[in-house]
Amino acid sequence: MTVAQPPRAGRRGRPGYDLESLLQVAAKLFNERGYDGTSMEDLSRKLGITKSAIYHHVPSKQELLRLAVNRALDGLFDVARHVESMPGPAIERLEALVRGSVGVLTDRLPFVTLLLRVHGNTKVERDALARRREFDRFAAELVKQAEAEGDIRPDIDPAMTARLLFGLINSLIEWYRPGRGTNADDLADAVCKITFDGMRVRPTRSDREH
Amino acid sequence: MTVAQPPRAGRRGRPGYDLESLLQVAAKLFNERGYDGTSMEDLSRKLGITKSAIYHHVPSKQELLRLAVNRALDGLFDVARHVESMPGPAIERLEALVRGSVGVLTDRLPFVTLLLRVHGNTKVERDALARRREFDRFAAELVKQAEAEGDIRPDIDPAMTARLLFGLINSLIEWYRPGRGTNADDLADAVCKITFDGMRVRPTRSDREH
């Protein structure tokens, strides 16, 4: 697993914008207009600072993209590393991975949104996609292990299950907005309840014997 | 509920491309390059026919978009109408709605993909979003009804459950590709198994009494 750069590192104390807030605004703008459709000129106008003030922090638009998608990826890999070190059955580690991933998504929404829209046209994008696939493989492996340990039903394919599970998590970027009534923990709870235990009320034994 | 135009209607028998294949190619191109980023010129080059041959079928790019997103919406509303007429408990109707929606998505993938990327900049897009919201309300209502009938667990919010459920279905556009090993029925089965019954092996009563 790649060693993650700690988030929130690299501030240089430029008045007005530090690197983190610059990245936040850049990620939001890339999400609105597309990376290709956003120029450094657009960004400087949005921030109300000169282009050279931006270049004080980063040498290029590519580097802005790299740092922004890595904020998302580093968060996900921090969760994966934490999960790897957990004792206990794979299904518990899988649940921790799901909760942690929802947490990264809600906490770093513009960065995760940007990551999920990257298509691999440049080296930065291809590198991001490669790290995303590494994370997906880690998740798929946990599902497989939980199935081997007898905690996940054997009648669903582990690879497809992992895809559906993380597809559901990723779909949160389409509607989750912080501060609009849905608490991030409640969201993680609902995701886990539905995917681990299902929506349906579980029949009691006497129902099943009917 | 809006009356749906039957899909596959409106062929005019122009040699080379009928309206349906024209719409398919247009939807794919809009998905690749964005609706705004695709000109009628780009489309005529892609199809290898003149722009006037395209205008033989449709008066404008807007109309291509309208017809294409309605292929997706009409399919979903056909399913909703079928589901509405079903007897039996709401949870069975909800399961039929989920299966039917996965079916529409796999069957009309470029159209559903286009629909899910529409952002509401024009009247055509706003109309499509309004129909999408109408469908979402229908789905949320079914979840609520199934919960009222005691078939869905009361500890999850029906509105959030509907969002998660259809978020999962919509996320299939990110990876499902027809003819690449995953059968559409198996996909619908996996979605229903996970969301209705959960991934976890259900404990038997003796386990629970432990």
pLDDT in tens, A88-113: 999 999 999 999 999 999 999 999 99
Joined together, the tokens standing for residue B124 give 């055509």
Higher pLDDT, A203 or A58: A58
Under 8 Å CB pairs connecting chains A and B tally to 111
Higher pLDDT, A147 or A2: A147
Per-residue pLDDT tens for A134-164? Answer: 999 999 999 999 999 999 998 989 999 999 9
- Please state the rounded mean pLDDT for residues B22-36: 94
Q: What architecture (CATH level 2) is domain A67-197? A: Orthogonal Bundle (1.10)
Backbone region of residue A13 per phi and psi (left: phi > 0; alpha: psi in -120 to 50; beta: other values): left
Provide the greatest CA pair distance for chain A. Answer: 75
Q: Write the ipTM.
A: 0.85
For residue B27, what pLDDT is reported?
Answer: 97
By Cβ distance, the residue of B161, B196, B199 closest to A152 is B199
Cα B49 from Cα A131, distance rounded (Å): 41
Say how many CA atoms lie within 13 Å of B158 toward its Cβ.
21
Backbone region of residue A72 per phi and psi (left: phi > 0; alpha: psi in -120 to 50; beta: other values): alpha
Please tell me which residue of chain B has the smallest CA distance to A152: B200
For residue B15, what pLDDT is reported?
Answer: 53
Cα A168 from Cα A21, distance rounded (Å): 28
Which DSSP state fits A172?
G
Q: Is the pLDDT confidence value at B12 over 70?
A: no
By Cβ distance, the residue of A160, A164, A196 closest to B200 is A196
Joined together, the tokens standing for residue B75 give 């399919």
Torsion of CA B22, B24, B27, B28, to 10 degrees: -110
Average pLDDT of chain A is 89
Using beta carbons and an 8 Å cutoff, which residues of A are at the interface with B? 34, 91, 143, 150-153, 155-157, 160-161, 163-165, 167-168, 170-172, 174-175, 182, 186-187, 190-191, 193-202, 204-205
C-beta atoms of A164 and B201 within 8 A: no
Contacts of B187 in chain A (CB under 8 A): 160
| Shortest Cα–Cα distance, B185 to chain A (Å) | 13
Nearest to A2 by CA among A101, A164, A173, A137: A137
Please say whether the dihedral angle defined by the alpha carbons of residues A62, A68, A72 and A75, taken in this order, is positive or negative.
positive
Per-residue pLDDT tens for A4-46? Answer: 444 444 444 445 788 999 999 999 999 998 898 899 999 999 9
Cα B89 from Cα B93, distance rounded (Å): 7
Average pLDDT of chain B is 89
First to last CA, chain A: 51
For residue B203, what pLDDT is reported?
Answer: 66
Instruction: Supply the DSSP string of A126-146, one letter for each residue.
Output: HHHHHHHHHHHHHHHHHHHHH
Of chain B, the percentage scoring pLDDT greater than 90 comes to 78
Per-residue pLDDT tens for B121-130? Answer: 899 999 999 9
| Shortest Cα–Cα distance, A177 to chain B (Å) | 13
Residues whose CB falls within 8 Å of the CB of residue B20, separated by 6 or more in sequence, listed in order: B8, B11
Using beta carbons and an 8 Å cutoff, which residues of B are at the interface with A? 34, 91, 143, 150-153, 155-157, 160-161, 163-165, 167-168, 170-172, 174-175, 182, 186-187, 190-191, 193-202, 204-205
By Cβ distance, the residue of A143, A187, A197 closest to B198 is A197
Q: Is the pLDDT confidence value at A60 over 60?
A: yes
Helices and strands per DSSP (H, E), number in chain A: 10, 0
Nearest to A163 by CA among A144, A148, A150, A184: A144
Please tell me which residue of chain A has the smallest CA distance to B149: A201
Q: Is the pLDDT confidence value at A209 over 60?
A: no
Pick the CATH number of B66-197 from 3.30.499.10, 3.20.20.80, 1.10.357.10, 1.25.40.10: 1.10.357.10
Q: Which residue, among B118, B199, B201, would best test binding to A if mutated, counting the most A CBs under 10 Å from its CB?
A: B199
Cα B24 from Cα B28, distance rounded (Å): 6
For residue A204, what pLDDT is reported?
Answer: 58
Q: Is the pLDDT confidence value at B18 over 60?
A: yes
| H/E segment holding residue B200 | none
Helices (H), chain B: 19-33, 40-47, 51-57, 61-84, 90-107, 109-117, 123-148, 158-171, 184-192, 205-209
Per-residue pLDDT tens for B47-101? Answer: 999 999 999 999 999 999 999 999 999 999 999 999 999 999 999 999 999 999 9
Backbone region of residue A75 per phi and psi (left: phi > 0; alpha: psi in -120 to 50; beta: other values): alpha
For residue A17, what pLDDT is reported?
Answer: 82
Q: B96 with B87: CB under 8 angstroms?
A: no
Contacts of B168 in chain A (CB under 8 A): 164, 167-168, 171
Residues whose CB falls within 8 Å of the CB of residue B58, separated by 6 or more in sequence, listed in order: B19, B22, B64, B67
First to last CA, chain B: 51
Q: Is the pLDDT confidence value at B144 over 80?
A: yes
Contacts of B150 in chain A (CB under 8 A): 201
| Shortest Cα–Cα distance, A173 to chain B (Å) | 10
Burial classification of residue A56, based on how many CB atoms lie within 10 Å of its CB (0-12 exposed, 13-18 middle, 19 or more buried) = middle
C-beta atoms of A190 and B91 within 8 A: no
Helix (H, G, I), strand (E, B) or coil at B39: coil
Token pair 């890339």: residue: A30
Cα A105 from Cα A1, distance rounded (Å): 20
Q: What pLDDT band is residue B17 in, cutting at 50, 70 and 90?
A: confident
Q: B34 with A34: CB under 8 angstroms?
A: yes
